[in-house]
Amino acid sequence: MKGLLFLCVANSARSQMAEGIARSLLPDGAPIFSAGSHPTQIRPEAIAVMREIGIDISAQRSKSVAEIPLQTVDTVVTLCAEEVCPVVAGDVRRFHWGLPDPAATDGSLTDRLVAFRTTRDELHRRIGVFLASAEVSGSPPAQAAPLVDRSPDDDILKRH
């Protein structure tokens, strides 16, 4: 894998958490990016729930796709569910993981944090499987712990 880009609309929650998780799982200096079609600002709930698992994303910022050095990217993962996902032109591998936006959760701080944790945990699971797959690395998958909650209809490596 040359470079990995996580995309959503606001680049405030899902893609920010995905960038942080991927950075924690890959060697230092690996080209990992996140961006949005309409960037806003990183959500404090995203920073908080990532800190709970020892990943600090507080220095990250919301970015436009135009700010990403796309010549260094060969894999794009879109994370939109209910919104229209941004599109990146070019010869890249494309994957779509339609995850609900935790930033859209109404209710108390507790309710919002539960939504962010759910998304964080699902992203962590999917990214772990994704990075261990031969589809990404070009080599046989590394020996990894089995996934307990993997459902047969959850094809996280599905290309779009």
Max alpha carbon distance in the chain (Å)? Answer: 45
pLDDT tens readout for residues 127-136: 999 998 845 5
**147 within domain boundaries:** no
Number of domains in the chain: 1
Catalytic residue chosen out of the listed positions 49, 79, 80, 156: 80
Q: What is the mean pLDDT of the chain?
A: 85
Q: What is the pLDDT of residue 157?
A: 42
Domain presence at residue 90: yes
The pTM for the full model equals: 0.83
Higher model confidence: residue 85 or residue 160?
85
CB 36 within 8 Å of CB 12? yes
| 66 flagged as catalytic | no
Is position 154 within any domain?
A: no
Domain of residue 132 covers: 4-137
Q: What is the pLDDT of residues 19-57, one digit of tens each?
A: 999 999 999 999 999 999 999 999 999 999 999 999 999
**Residues forming a β-bridge with 4:** 32, 75
Task: Determine, yes or no, domain membership for 129.
Answer: yes
**CATH number, domain with residue 122:** 3.40.50.2300
* Residue 35 appears among annotated catalytic residues: no
